[in-house]
Chain A
Amino acid sequence: MAQITSFTVDDLKETMRTCAGVNEAVNFDDDIADVTFEDLGYDSLAVLEMAAKLQNHLGVVIPDDAAEQLPTPRALAEYVNVRLAG
Chain B
Amino acid sequence: MAGERRVVITGIGVTAPGGIGTKAFWELLTAGRTATRTITLFDASGFRSRVAAECDFDPAAEGLSPQEIRRMDRAAQFGVVCAREALAGSGLEEGDVAPERIGVSIGSAVGCTTGLEEEYVVLSDGGRRWLVDPAYAARHLYGYMVPSTMACEVAWAAGAEGPVSLISTGCTAGLDAVGNGCQLIWTGRADVVIAGATDAPLSPITAACFDAIKATSPNNDDPAHASRPFDAHRDGFVLGEGAAVFVLEEREAARRRGAHVYAEIAGFANRSNAYHMTGLKPDGREMAEAIRQAMWWGRLDPADIDYVNAHGSGTRQNDRHETAAFKRALGRRAYEVPVSSIKSMVGHSLGAIGSIEVAACALAIEHQVVPPTANLHNRDPECDLDYVPLTAREHPIDSVLSVGSGFGGFQTAMVIRRDRAA
Q: Give the interface of A toward B (CB within 8 A).
A: 43-45, 48, 52, 64
Contact = CB atoms under 8 A, between A and B. Distances in A.
A38 to B, nearest CB: 12
B212 A43 contact: no
A64 B277 contact: no
11 contacts: A43-B276, A43-B279, A44-B213, A44-B278, A45-B213, A45-B277, A45-B278, A48-B213, A48-B214, A52-B212, A64-B214
A48 B279 contact: no
A48 B276 contact: no
Interface class of chain B by DSSP: loop
A44 B279 contact: yes
Interface string B211-234: 011100000000000000000000
Interface in B182-233: 212-214
A64 B277 CA distance: 19
Nearest to B317: A44
Contacts of B214: 48, 64
A14 to B, nearest CB: 21
Contacts of A43: 276, 279
A64 B279 CA distance: 16
Interface in B78-128: none
B212 to A, nearest CB: 6
Contacts of B278: 44-45
Nearest to A64: B214
Contacts of B279: 43-44
A20 to B, nearest CB: 13
A49 to B, nearest CB: 8
Closest 7 CB pairs between A and B? A64-B214, A48-B213, A45-B213, A45-B278, A52-B212, A43-B276, A43-B279
A64 B218 CA distance: 12
B10 to A, nearest CB: 43
Contacts of A48: 212-214
Given A45-B277, A48-B214, 4 more contacts: A43-B279, A44-B213, A44-B278, A48-B212
Nearest to B277: A45
Contacts of A52: 212
A45 B212 CA distance: 9
A19 to B, nearest CB: 12
A23 to B, nearest CB: 15
A64 B236 CA distance: 13
A48 B48 CA distance: 14
A43 B279 CA distance: 9
Contacts of B213: 44-45, 48
Contacts of B212: 48, 52
A56 to B, nearest CB: 11
Contacts of A44: 213, 278-279
Most buried by B among A44, A52, A64: A44
